[in-house]
């Protein structure tokens, strides 16, 4: 593995040229979301490919276009890669139309990923909403696979309705893990729902994880992120203790095409993981 | 006219009859004006009327809230009427301050005649049908017909037909279709393949900046068909094929709304003769359906209206 | 035989490259109103009337649904001509859809002619559900017209070899 | 100057001819009605008479309005991707203005930042820039406020200065020095030429009167970033077209799109603009839906964000955005009237 990030896993020295990847499995998460499992066609790349939790890729459906998704599987479980797609537009619709065995393009990994080393020895508080669990999921499994390195783990996860909860198999696994304090909530339950109801920020406030020696990692729709940071501040988290991974419209994934900036920071180049300290100057304005 | 404009606008603002005014103020470059959109009475003294008021200000109406005073030439007032027909603007929300217009100076024509760029000219003065250009101390005189915009030369309605205040006596129309449609006529004389070739070459220059669309008051769609992605009608890639489809369809979509104000062609940074498309559209609306744009604010728009028997010779 | 695509069927067409037999033969895209011409075409088929196989059909809810964009897009995709067919004046299922279509088609045809597209390529007809014979006649006539004007090379580009989905 | 040369104007065609043997030479041309740097036709040197600057900036010669990134084809074995053949032909651009040459230096920074952009950089490496100093700048030019002198450039390989009947030629880079040494038929530059050239450069500098106040510009922009009233006022007349960005020599934003025809197709990249609402639009929301946010982004990006990231201001004062704007939106007014705080 080269340490120079710009040379990692380039296809024919062209940073815009995707690698061919094959869909191996499709999991229906919610009515609008699927998780796709894939592997590279090139065997050498399949062996060598590495990434950090929180990093993302550019996925191509040839003839339709490219879209950005974080890698939602953990680097510690490398027999295949995963990403989750919500059906919202041209490329995501096309990804939903793919079958097992279909080929797609992949460029990456891009972005900074989570500062995993700095999380060692700390209490971790994960706060996620909807499909925002996808990037955190990569990190959570990574942390679980290195459980000794970290202290307490709190997870607060919510979705609009029980049907909108993603990764239910993971929620069950984490709920059954005695070393994890897991809270699942929905904005509004249905007849069969026996769990909690309430918005993620409020449930987080009730759960009240301690800020001492802790970091909070937040991902979800912008509205949730905006309301979660004040709650964390109330709980005593400093801006440096809060992390989020952001989503913006992207095209190139490598800081050139221009559209994903928040102030001088490019979500693809400088993120997608940011501490609240980095972005708070702009968060009221453009995020 | 300018003094009257300022005092009228001041009064309108003071009496609370309008919340803001859309007019022209001197531009930052020689012989240019620039749109002034303000609710500040102090800005009113910047308002000007001169032979360089090129913009069709009605393009700002669809994005402006409240009651608006708007300075309008003949073509601009017809655009406003058309917007009223399309329910994009409510008549009671606009105070139309009409300028009887005897044509706007086309600086590219002046540059060509004077052999110098705009910023190298000392002065351009219009007196009636004569335009005097001073270059390096030397005065050159041109008839207005050589210096005004093509569309102005063919203008049938130089005086606004719809207005609340008319700043001066009406101007007698002197449309000269032949001069105004010189470029169109030369196209009509070509065989079809050559016409297509002509447009193909013109549109290979297009960079798809969409200035033509964005300065056009008739292009008020919130989402233009070129921005649709499912289906992707036109790729956002400036190849001549996609550029040509964009512009031809845009021309058809503004049929019955285009008042031949000429803004699309003037705004184009790569000099595509867009008016040769849109003007033909105005002609067709008139020839086929006897429809003149922006004349009657109560009338249904071109493509909403119909007669029981018309254009049957084109249908099998 | 006509094949049917739902009214948003054009979506599927935008990615199609037409396969071309060795000898050029005209390809016509028909936008047929479901209340009349489409049924007319169906009747022509079921009553085994002969007409050229040049036509591909998209069923539309009304001839008024046809945006001029559909016509130009079809030409870019490599069709040699487009036929819009709706109900006779007075017969529109939605009262006035065909009157509006008539204005739009008239302007489009004349305007595209001015831009340099042969008028034979843009055709319109009124065909009712019972007029199978008229339908076959229209398709035959229009196809003959296309044979006269020849293959659509409007959007081909010798220099770049792209930007067009024209038949190869 | 020891290694300077001179040439009479009427010999310009002959010089371009000689360079054409090795290079594909582009010169200012308006054969399409709009000035751009286009391949030289081998005869026409009339641009020496009319050329002030191009409408299409020379960035288009390196980063064209659209280009093929690769083709794809689906076969029995799956997808096959094909890169466009790399163009080995060496290019020479004759007559580039100092502002536009600086713009390429600015673009180099972003296209080299972390990841190398193969398309832009390969053309850049293949090209010799021959600068031509301005003698008659436009009234919209304000390059001197950005530290550029209209008659001089450190961003070209060779620099030409119009001395009346001829050009005084100075090598700027090693590439330029080599080219000059290999070019026959040039006389050595005389002291009188150099003195004349110096006067021409100074006169051009004095002709530029439009200014922007760049002092503490980042802090001043930061201070009024949240001043919505100011940005709304500034943006009111903007029609959100792409002229100022597409024709800006330093704007580099692009879009990526695929074309499909059955089992094969092409991926293109094409110019994009922060003026368009669709540029940042996401399915659920758009962080820059309102016009004033987009105008603010454009201004702040050039004078604040870009220099913070890449150490150079993304503006050269070429004035195209003012000159070509259909509503005369003037960035110098926006910058000079920044309010002191929110």
DSSP codes of every residue in C78-144: T-SEEEEEEPPTT--TTSSHHHHHHHHHHHHHHHHHHHT--GGGEEEEE--TT-HHHHHHHHHHHHH
Chain C partners of D66 at a C-beta cutoff of 8 Å? none
Which residues from D are below 8 Å from B37, CB to CB?
A: 236-237
Q: Do A285 and D253 touch (CB under 8 A)?
A: no
Task: Categorize the per-residue pLDDT at D336 as very low, low, confident or very high, splitting at 50, 70 and 90.
Answer: very high
Task: Please tell me the total count of domains within chain A.
Answer: 2
Whether residue D247 lies within 8 A of chain B, CB to CB, comes out as yes
Checking if the pLDDT of D232 tops 70, the result is: yes
Same domain membership, residue A121 and residue A94: no
Q: Is the pLDDT of residue C163 over 90?
A: no
User: How many angstroms separate the CA atoms of A79 and C25, rounded?
Assistant: 53
User: What residue segments make up the domains of chain C, in order of their start?
Assistant: 25-149
Q: Give the other-Cβ count within 10 Å of B307's Cβ.
A: 11
Cβ-defined contacts of B287-294 (< 8 Å, 24+): B288/C103, B288/C106, B288/C107, B288/C110, B289/C103, B291/B256, B292/B156, B293/B78, B293/B82, B293/B256, B293/B257, B293/B258, B293/B259, B294/B77, B294/B78, B294/B79, B294/B80, B294/B81, B294/B82, B294/B85, B294/B157, B294/B161, B294/B162, B294/B259
Tokens coding A26: 């499709």
Partners of A90 on chain B (C-beta within 8 Å) are: 229-230, 232
* Mean pLDDT (whole number) for A66-87: 95
Mean pLDDT score, A58-66: 95
- pLDDT given at position C6: 34
Bridge partners, A60 (sequence order): A66, A105
Q: Domain ends where: D156, D188, D207?
A: D207
Pairing relationship of beta strands B33-38 and B94-98 according to DSSP bridges: unpaired
Interface TM-score (ipTM) > 0.85: yes
pLDDT tops 50 at residue C161:
no
In the numeric block, the tokens 């308002």 are attached to B47
Chain A CB contacts of B229 under 8 Å are 89-90
Contacts of B66 in chain D (CB under 8 A): none
Better-scored residue on pLDDT, C27 or C166: C27
**What residue of D is the nearest CA neighbor of B35?**
D237
D342 pLDDT tier (thresholds 50, 70, 90): low
Chain centre distance of CA A140: 10
- C77-93 pLDDT per residue, tens: 999 999 999 999 999 99
Report whether pLDDT(D240) > 60: yes
What pLDDT is stored for residue C3 in this prediction?
Answer: 37
Mean pLDDT of A243-259: 93
Mapped onto helix, strand or coil, the DSSP state of residue D169 is strand
Q: Regarding predicted confidence, which is higher, C47 or A279?
A: C47
Of A161, A203, A174, residue with least CA distance to A30:
A161
Handedness of CA D169, D173, D177, D180 (dihedral sign): negative
A63 in the same domain as A47: yes
D341 lies in a domain?
A: no
In the stretch 119-178 of chain A, residues with CB closer than 8 A to chain D read none
- What proportion of chain C, given as a percentage, has pLDDT over 70? 80
Distance CA B19, CA B15 (A): 10
Domain boundary among A57, A89, A110: A110
Q: Both A84 and A151 in a single domain? A: no
Residues D84 and D177 in one domain: yes
Q: Which pLDDT score is estimated for D140?
A: 97
> Of the candidates D243, D291, D332, which has its C-beta nearest B269's C-beta?
D243
Tell me if A257 is assigned to some domain: no
Count of A–B CB contacts within 8 Å? 6
CA A56/CA A53 separation, integer angstroms: 9
Q: Which residue of C has its CA nearest to B234?
A: C73
Q: Domain end: D157, D187, D207, which one?
A: D207
Token couple for D180: 């000059």
| C-alpha distances out from residue B153 to B112, B216, B261, Å | 18, 20, 11
Identify the closest residue of chain A to B228 by CA–CA distance.
Answer: A90
**Site from D64, D71, D84, D261 to mutate, C interface, most C CB atoms within 10 angstroms:** D261
**For residue B246, is pLDDT > 70?**
yes
> How far C18 CA lies from chain D's nearest CA (Å)?
9
Residues D25 and D128 in one domain: yes
Residue C72 sits at the chain B interface (C-beta within 8 Å): yes
- Whether residue A87 is found in the same domain as residue A197: no
Q: C38 pairs with which residues across the strands?
A: none
- Closest residue to D242, CB basis, from B59, B60, B210: B210
C-alpha D168 chain-centroid distance: 24
Secondary structure element (H or E) that encloses residue D271, with its range:
strand D264-271
d(CA D208, CA D141): 7
Show Cβ contacts of residue D233 under 8 Å, excluding neighbours closer than 6 positions.
Answer: none
Domain ranges of chain B: 2-104+148-306, 105-147
Peptide bond into B4 cis (omega under 30): no
The whole domain housing D226 covers 217-336
Query: Between the ranges A27-31, D28-32, D262-266, where is the mean pLDDT highest?
Result: A27-31
Residues A88 and A160 both lie in one domain? no
Interior angle at CA A194, CA A192 and CA A197, nearest 5? 110
Are D56 and D80 spatial neighbours (Cβ–Cβ below 8 Å)? no
Instruction: Note the pLDDT of residue B307.
Output: 92
Give the distance from residue D51's alpha carbon to the nearest chain B alpha carbon, in angstroms. Answer: 11
> Is residue D160 located within the same domain as residue D245?
no
Nearest chain D Cα to B53, which residue?
D327
Q: For residues B48 and B71, what is the distance between their CA atoms, to the nearest angstrom? A: 10
**D18–chain B Cβ distance below 8 A for any pair:** no
Residue where one domain finishes, among candidates A50, A84, A110 = A110
Give pLDDT tens digits for A123-137. 999 999 999 999 999
**3-class DSSP state of C165:** coil
CATH number of the domain within which A223 lies: 3.40.50.80
* Interface contact B313, partner C, CB < 8 A: no
**pTM higher than 0.95:** no
Task: Quote the tokens at residue B118.
Answer: 């705009």
Which of chain C's residues have a Cβ under 8 Å away from the Cβ of B253?
Answer: 68
The more confident residue out of B64 and D229 is: D229
- pLDDT cut 70: percent of chain D above it: 99
Predicted pLDDT at A279: 87
Q: Which of D186, D207, D228 is the last residue of a domain?
A: D207
* pLDDT tens digits for range D80-129: 999 999 878 999 999 999 999 999 999 999 999 999 999 999 999 999 99
In a domain, D53, yes or no: yes
Cβ neighbors of A251 (< 8 A, separation 6 or more) are A66, A257, A259, D254, D255, D256, D272
CA atoms of C131 and C151, how far apart (whole Å): 29
The first and second tokens of residue A212, run together, are: 């001492």
Q: Are A104 and A121 in the same domain?
A: no
Domain endpoint, select from A70, A88, A110? A110
Joined tokens for residue C138? 């229209």
Q: How far apart are CA A151 and CA A147, in angstroms?
A: 8
Tell me what the mean pLDDT of segment C118-123 comes to: 96
Instruction: Tell me the C-alpha to C-alpha distance, in Å, between residue C38 and each of C31, C35, C63, C69, C98.
Output: 9, 7, 11, 21, 14
Which member of A14, A62, A65 has the closest CB to residue D83?
A14
Does the CB of C160 have a partner CB in chain D at under 8 Å? no
Q: Give the pLDDT of residue A110.
A: 95
**Rounded Cα distance, B168 and B175, in Å:** 20
> Is D72 found in the same domain as D165?
yes
- Name the residue facing C76 among B230, B245, B316 (closest C-beta): B245
A269 touches chain D (CB under 8 A): yes
Element (H, E) at A136: helix A133-145
Check CB contact of C91 with chain B, cutoff 8 Å. Answer: no
Chain D residue with Cα closest to B266: D326
Q: Does residue D179 sit within a domain?
A: yes
Looking at the structure, do residues A123 and A105 belong to the same domain, yes or no?
no
Facing residue for C111 by CB, picked from B240, B242, B252: B252
Options 3.90.1570, 3.30.450, 2.90.10, 3.10.450; CATH of B105-147: 3.10.450
Lowest mean pLDDT among C153-167, D63-77, D276-290: C153-167
Residue A283 confidence class, pLDDT cut points 50, 70, 90: low
Beta-carbon count within 10 A of B184 CB: 20
pLDDT digits (tens, 9 = 90+) for D175-214: 999 999 999 889 999 999 999 999 999 999 999 999 999 9
Taking contacts as CB-CB distances below 8 angstroms, the residues of chain C near D261 are 15-17, 165
For residue A63, the domain's CATH number is: 2.40.30.10
* Same domain, yes or no: A173 and A121: yes
The neighbours of chain B, by the rule of 3 or more Cβ pairs under 8 Å, are: A, C, D
Phi first, then psi: give them for residue A123, nearest 5 degrees.
-80, 135
- Measured between beta carbons, the chain D residues lying within 8 angstroms of C17 are 261-262
Distance from CA of C153 to the nearest CA of D (A): 17
CATH number 3.40.50.960 given to C25-149: yes
What angle (nearest 5°) sits at the alpha carbon of residue B112, between those of residues B111 and B116?
Answer: 45
Task: Give strand pairing partners of B127.
Answer: B130
The pLDDT value recorded for residue C10 is: 45
User: DSSP assignment of chain B, as one string?
Assistant: -HHHHHHHHHHHHHTTS-SEEEEEEE-SSTT-EEEEEE--GGGGGG----TT----GGGGGGG--S-EEEEE-HHHHHHHHHHHHTTSS-GGGEEEEE------B-HHHHHHHHTS-GGG--EEEEETTEEEEEETTEEEEEEHHHHB-HHHHT-S--S-SS-SEE-SPPPPP---HHHHTHHHHHHHTS-HHHHHHHHHHHHTS-----HHHHT-TT---SS-GGG--SS--S-SS--HHHHHHHHHHHHHHTTTT-----HHHHH-TT---THHHHHHHHHHHHHHH---TTS-TTSPPTTT---SS-SGGG--
Cα–Cα nearest to A105, from A94, A114, A115, A116: A94
pLDDT at C167 over 60: no
Q: Kindly state whether residues A30 and A15 are assigned to the same domain.
A: yes
Sign of the alpha-carbon dihedral angle for B232, B236, B241, B245: positive
Which H/E stretch holds residue D233?
helix D228-235
Full residue range of the structural domain in which residue A139 is found = 116-245
D201 occurs within a structural domain? yes
Q: How many domains does chain D have?
A: 2
* R_g of chain C computed on alpha carbons: 15
């Amino acid at each position: 593995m080269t340490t120079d990030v710009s040379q990692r896993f380039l296809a024919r020295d062209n940073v815009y040229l995707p690698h061919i990847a094959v869909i191996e499995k499709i999991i229906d998460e919610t009515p609008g979301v699927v998780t796709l499992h894939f592997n590279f066609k090139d065997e050498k790349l399949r062996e060598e490919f590495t990434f950090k939790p929180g990093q993302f890729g550019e996925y191509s459906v040839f003839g339709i276009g490219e879209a950005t998704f974080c890698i939602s599987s953990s680097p510690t479980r490398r027999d295949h890669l995963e990403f989750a797609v919500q059906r919202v537009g041209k490329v995501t619709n096309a990804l939903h139309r793919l079958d097992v065995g279909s080929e797609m393009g992949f460029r990456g990994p891009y972005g900074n990923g989570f500062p995993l080393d700095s999380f060692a020895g700390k209490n971790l508080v994960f706060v996620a909403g909807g499909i925002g669990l996808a990037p955190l999921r990569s990190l959570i499994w990574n942390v679980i696979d290195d459980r000794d390195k970290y202290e307490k783990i709190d997870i607060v996860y919510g979705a609009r309705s029980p049907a909108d909860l993603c990764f239910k198999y993971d929620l069950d696994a984490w709920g059954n893990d005695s070393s994890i304090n897991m809270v699942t909530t929905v904005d509004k339950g249905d007849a069969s729902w026996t769990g909690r109801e309430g918005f993620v920020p409020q449930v987080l406030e009730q759960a009240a994880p301690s800020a001492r020696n802790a970091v909070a990692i937040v991902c979800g729709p912008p509205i949730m992120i905006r309301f979660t940071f004040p709650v964390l501040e109330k709980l005593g988290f400093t801006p440096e203790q809060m992390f989020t991974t952001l989503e913006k419209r992207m095209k190139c994934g490598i800081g050139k095409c221009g559209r994903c900036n928040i102030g001088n920071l490019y979500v693809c180049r400088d993120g997608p993981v940011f501490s609240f300290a980095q972005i708070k100057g702009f968060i009221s304005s453009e995020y | 006219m300018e003094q009257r404009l300022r005092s009228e606008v001041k009064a309108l603002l003071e009496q609370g009859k309008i919340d803001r005014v859309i007019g022209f103020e001197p531009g930052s470059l020689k012989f240019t004006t620039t749109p002034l959109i303000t609710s500040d009475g102090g800005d009113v003294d910047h308002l000007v009327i001169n032979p360089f008021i090129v913009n069709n200000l009605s393009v700002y109406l669809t994005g402006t809230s409240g009651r608006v005073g708007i300075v309008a030439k003949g073509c601009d007032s017809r655009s406003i009427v058309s917007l009223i027909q399309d329910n994009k603007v409510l008549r009671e929300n606009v105070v139309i301050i009409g300028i009887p217009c005897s044509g706007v100076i086309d600086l590219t024509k002046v540059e060509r005649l004077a052999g110098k760029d705009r910023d190298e000219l000392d002065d351009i003065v219009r007196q009636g049908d004569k335009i005097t250009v001073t270059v390096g101390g030397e005065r050159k005189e041109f008839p207005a017909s050589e210096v005004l915009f093509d569309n102005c030369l063919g203008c049938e309605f130089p005086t606004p037909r719809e207005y609340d205040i008319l700043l001066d006596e009406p101007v007698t129309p002197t449309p000269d279709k032949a001069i105004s449609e010189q470029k169109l006529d030369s196209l009509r004389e070509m065989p079809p393949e050559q016409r297509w070739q002509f447009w193909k070459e013109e549109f290979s220059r297009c960079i798809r900046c969409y200035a033509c669309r964005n300065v056009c008051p008739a292009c008020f769609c919130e989402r233009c068909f070129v921005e649709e992605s499912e289906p992707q009608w036109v790729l956002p890639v400036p190849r001549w094929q996609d550029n040509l489809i964009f512009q031809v369809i845009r021309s058809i979509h503004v049929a019955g709304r285009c008042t031949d104000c000429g803004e699309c062609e003037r705004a184009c940074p790569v000099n595509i003769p867009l008016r040769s498309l849109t003007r033909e559209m105005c002609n067709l609306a008139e020839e086929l359906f006897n429809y003149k744009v922006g004349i009657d604010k109560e009338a249904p728009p071109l493509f909403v209206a119909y007669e029981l028997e018309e254009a049957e010779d084109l249908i099998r | 035989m006509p094949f049917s695509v739902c009214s948003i069927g054009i979506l599927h067409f935008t990615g199609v490259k037409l396969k071309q037999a060795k000898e050029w033969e005209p390809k016509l895209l028909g936008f047929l109103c479901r209340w009349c011409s489409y049924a007319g075409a169906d009747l022509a088929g079921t009553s085994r009337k002969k007409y050229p196989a040049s036509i591909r059909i998209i069923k539309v809810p009304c001839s008024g649904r046809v945006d001029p964009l559909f016509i130009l897009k079809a030409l870019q995709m490599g069709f040699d001509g487009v036929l819009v067919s709706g109900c006779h004046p007075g017969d529109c299922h939605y009262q006035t859809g065909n009157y509006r279509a008539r204005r739009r088609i008239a302007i489009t045809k004349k305007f595209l002619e001015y831009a340099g597209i042969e008028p034979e390529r843009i055709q319109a007809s009124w065909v009712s559900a019972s007029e199978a014979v008229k339908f076959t006649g229209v398709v035959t006539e229009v196809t003959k017209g296309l044979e006269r004007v020849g293959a659509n090379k409007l959007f081909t580009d010798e220099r770049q070899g792209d930007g067009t989905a024209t038949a190869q | 100057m020891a290694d300077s040369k001179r040439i009479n104007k009427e010999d310009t065609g002959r010089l371009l001819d000689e360079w054409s043997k090795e290079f594909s030479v582009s010169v200012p041309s308006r054969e399409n009605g709009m000035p751009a740097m286009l391949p030289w036709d081998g005869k026409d040197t009339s641009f020496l008479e009319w050329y002030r600057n191009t409408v299409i900036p020379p960035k288009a010669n390196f980063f064209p309005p659209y280009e093929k990134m690769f083709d794809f084809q689906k076969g029995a074995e799956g997808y096959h991707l094909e890169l466009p053949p790399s163009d080995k032909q060496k290019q020479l651009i004759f007559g580039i203005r100092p502002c536009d040459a600086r713009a390429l230096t600015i673009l180099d920074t972003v296209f080299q930042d972390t990841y190398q952009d193969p398309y832009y950089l390969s053309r850049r490496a293949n090209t010799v820039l021959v600068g031509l100093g301005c003698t008659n700048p436009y009234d919209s030019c304000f390059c001197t406020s950005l530290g550029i002198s209209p008659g001089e450039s450190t961003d070209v390989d060779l620099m030409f200065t119009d001395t009346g009947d001829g050009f005084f030629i100075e090598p700027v880079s090693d590439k330029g020095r080599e080219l000059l040494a290999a070019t026959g038929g040039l006389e050595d530059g005389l002291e009188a030429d150099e003195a004349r050239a110096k006067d021409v450069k100074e006169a051009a500098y004095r002709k530029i009167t439009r200014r922007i106040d760049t002092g503490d510009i980042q802090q001043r922009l930061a201070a009024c970033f949240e001043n919505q009233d100011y940005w709304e006022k500034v943006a009111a007349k903007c029609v959100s077209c792409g002229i100022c960005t597409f024709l800006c020599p330093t704007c580099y934003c692009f879009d990526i799109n695929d074309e499909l025809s059955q089992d094969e197709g092409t991926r293109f990249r094409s110019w994009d603009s922060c003026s368009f609402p669709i540029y940042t639009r996401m399915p659920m929301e758009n962080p820059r839906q309102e016009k004033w946010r987009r105008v603010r982004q454009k201004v702040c990006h050039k004078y604040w964000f870009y220099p913070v990231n890449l150490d150079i201001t993304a503006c050269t004062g070429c004035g195209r955005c003012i000159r070509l704007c259909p509503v005369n939106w003037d960035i110098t007014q926006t910058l000079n009237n920044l309010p002191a705080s929110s």
